[in-house]
């Protein structure tokens, strides 16, 4: 009788575990479908539901952080943006503590990059430092991480085009202005394009870098490609519209 009870208990436990795993898988599929359909708010809600079941899932934490930052970036109010970025960073920090990998560091770099758009002076310089540190760490862990290589290009472009006052703040924090150039940005953007040809923001920023580098023909070539690409994120239609406007201005 005791053996029979043990067998039944084990069977019940296995049933619960299997049901739990199926629930998680089903929720992931639902979230991924929402992302594919560009319903990012719905996807975020589902990923947060998964976190309620698996609070230590680094993969889910990264997804929640990335989507929170991306959706928050669309807010008009700067304070709302900062609130969203701060929340996103908390999720990303937990992801890195749970599993210190390239994806978590990429998400942290992405959040720092967004924070540079809503800060200034010493605070912006500190965000640029974090931006570079997390980017460098992610690329050490995975040198072929396309979205991080894109961020490497963005960091070079941002630092190369700082104003005089921003350079002074960066110089004070870094002990000098780090080496960065528009040409280095272009190299990273081109590498990212070869690795991930459907990362639309990379095309837009690559075109801007070519314009800054007085290579209008190349910028036009990149923009002509951008406007034909299918949207993959909730931001991509806006990137395409901006790219189209820039293309018209260059022709």
Contacts of 197 (CB under 8 A, 6+ apart): none
What pTM value is reported for the model?
0.89
What pLDDT is stored for residue 247 in this prediction?
Answer: 97
Tell me what percent of the residues of the chain surpass a pLDDT of 90. 83
Distance, C-alpha 118 to centroid of its chain:
16
- The Cα 10–Cα 4 span in angstroms is 10
Domain with CATH 1.25.40.10 in the chain: 41-145
Residue 137: CB atoms within 10 A of its CB come to 19
- The Cα 228–Cα 62 span in angstroms is 29
pLDDT for residue 1 is more than 80:
no
- The Cα 113–Cα 96 span in angstroms is 17
Contacts of 11 (CB under 8 A, 6+ apart): none
Residues 185-231: pLDDT tens digits?
999 999 999 999 999 999 999 999 999 999 999 999 999 999 999 99
Query: Which H or E run includes 179?
Result: none
121-141 and 102-115 helices, crossing angle to 10°: 160
Report residue 23's pLDDT band, with 50, 70 and 90 as the boundaries. Answer: confident
pLDDT for residue 56 is more than 50:
yes
Contact 193, 199 (CB under 8 A): yes
- The Cα 115–Cα 87 span in angstroms is 12
Q: Identify which of 20, 14, 45 has the alpha carbon closest to the alpha carbon of residue 31.
A: 45
Report residue 64's pLDDT band, with 50, 70 and 90 as the boundaries. Answer: very high
CA dihedral over 154, 156, 158, 161, signed as positive or negative? negative
Tell me what percent of the residues of the chain surpass a pLDDT of 70. 91
Tell me what the pLDDT averaged over the chain comes to: 92
pLDDT for residue 80 is more than 80:
yes
Residues 125-145: pLDDT tens digits?
999 999 999 999 999 999 999
pLDDT for residue 3 is more than 60:
no
- The Cα 89–Cα 156 span in angstroms is 22
41-145: CATH number: 1.25.40.10
pLDDT for residue 5 is more than 90:
no
């Amino acid at each position: 009788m005791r053996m029979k009870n043990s067998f039944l208990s084990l069977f019940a436990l296995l049933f619960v575990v299997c049901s739990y795993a199926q629930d998680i898988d089903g929720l992931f599929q639902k979230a991924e479908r929402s992302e594919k359909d560009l319903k990012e708010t719905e996807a975020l809600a589902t990923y947060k539901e998964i976190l309620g079941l698996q609070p230590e899932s680094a993969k889910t934490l990264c997804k929640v952080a990335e989507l929170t930052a991306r959706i928050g970036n669309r807010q008009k109010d700067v304070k709302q943006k900062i609130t969203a970025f701060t929340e996103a960073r908390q999720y990303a920090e937990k992801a890195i503590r749970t599993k210190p990998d390239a994806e978590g560091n990429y998400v942290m770099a992405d959040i720092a990059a967004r924070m540079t758009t809503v800060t200034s002076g010493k605070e912006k310089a500190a965000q640029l430092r974090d931006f570079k540190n997390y980017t460098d760490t992610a690329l050490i862990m995975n040198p072929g991480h396309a979205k991080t290589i894109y961020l490497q290009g963005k960091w070079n472009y941002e630092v190369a085009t700082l104003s005089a006052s921003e350079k002074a703040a960066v110089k004070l924090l870094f002990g000098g202005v780090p080496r960065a150039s528009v040409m280095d940005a272009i190299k990273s953007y081109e590498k990212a394009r070869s690795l991930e040809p459907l990362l639309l923001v990379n095309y837009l920023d690559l075109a801007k870098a070519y314009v800054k580098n007085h290579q209008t023909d190349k910028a036009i070539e990149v923009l002509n490609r951008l406007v034909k690409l299918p949207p993959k994120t909730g931001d991509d239609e806006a990137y395409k519209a901006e790219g189209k406007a820039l293309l018209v201005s260059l022709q």
